[in-house]
Each structure stands twice: as structure tokens, then as C-alpha cells.
Amino acid sequence: MATTDPYAVFRPRRGVLVARLSAIAVVVAIGATAILQPGGWPVVDRVLVWLLALLLGAGLWRFGMVRAVPDRTGLRVVNLVHSQELEWAQVVRVSFGGGSPWVVLELSDTEELAVMGIQRADGAFGRAEAARLAALVEHHSR
């Protein structure tokens, strides 16, 4: 179901679910291993394994936080590690080109920027969100 608000936040659907379920599964599985490991691991080793589980879980959880936040002045793209603020005039084109798993923005400085918040894995919803972003770019480029 597409949103009626053109400035609604762009977020993936399947990617968020997979990322969060994976994060929980990793923390539970590795954490359980640390607790239930036979052979009497030292406490320090158990704590370090728990810390590893939490670190891996946090990394996977981060995949669920990717998004693109449009407003009347521009677009803030939040990917895994990098976040970038763009003015609408900087965005030349929106595409799902080259088999990319997410939308790619062609910028006025000839750079490209992935928008992980709109993913091909979401099928028709992803295509509709890409079209909504393209319409916003078109609207603000006039």
C-alpha cells in the first residue's frame, strides 16, 4: 500500500524485517552458546562471546535503520555508515539501474548515491516508492 503523503519517510519493508529478526537470532544463538557451552569456559570468555553477539546484533540491527527523509528543502539519505543531506537541485535522476538492489541517485556533481531505504527486494512497493521519489525530484526541479 503506497502512502498518500509525498513527504513520508522512505523505508524498506523486507529489509527491516530480515535485519531485525537476524539481529535477534544472532544475539540469542551466540548468547546461548556462551551460557550453555560445556567444558567450563572462563567467565571472561563467556563475557567476550556475549559482547561479540551484541556487536554482531547491533550491526545487523543497523541494516533496519536505513531510510531517506524528504522534506520541502531536500532529502536526507541515511545508509549503513554514511548519512548525506541533499538539496533537491543536486538530484538529477532517480533509477533502479544496473541491477542495483536499491535506488541510485545521479547527482549534479556527477557522483552517484545509493538510497538503501528504497529496495528492489520490496517488489511493487519498492518500484512505487522509487516513482514517488522521482516525482518529488521532478516537482522540485521546476
- Residue 110 and residue 93: Cα distance in Å, rounded? 11
Q: What share of the chain is helix, strand, coil (3-state, %, to 5)?
A: 50, 25, 25
| pLDDT of amino acid 100 | 87
| pLDDT of amino acid 132 | 95
Same domain for 46 and 100? no
What is the signed CA dihedral for 101, 14, 117, 71, rounded to 10 degrees?
Answer: 140
Same domain for 49 and 34? yes
- Residue 89 and residue 62: Cα distance in Å, rounded? 29
115 has which bridge partners? 103
Q: How many domains does the chain have?
A: 2
- Residue 44 and residue 38: Cα distance in Å, rounded? 15
Segments of the chain with pLDDT less than 70? 1-3
Same domain for 53 and 90? no
Give per-residue pLDDT as tens, 7-32: 999 999 888 899 999 999 999 999 89
Residue 88's CATH number:
2.30.29
Q: State the residue range of the domain holding 58.
A: 14-63
> What phi and psi, each to the nearest 5 degrees, are found at residue 115?
-115, 90
133 within domain boundaries: yes
59 within domain boundaries: yes
Give per-residue pLDDT as tens, 100-109: 899 999 999 9
39 within domain boundaries: yes
Same domain for 46 and 78? no
Amino acid sitting at position 65: M
Same domain for 95 and 38? no
3 state SS of 106: strand
DSSP states of 42-110: -HHHHHHHHHHHHHHHHHHHHHTT-EEEE-SSEEEEE-SS-EEEEEGGGEEEEE-GGG-SEEEEEETTS
| pLDDT of amino acid 3 | 61
3 state SS of 16: helix
9 within domain boundaries: no
Same domain for 76 and 132? yes
Enter the pTM of the model: 0.82
108 within domain boundaries: yes
Amino acid sitting at position 116: M
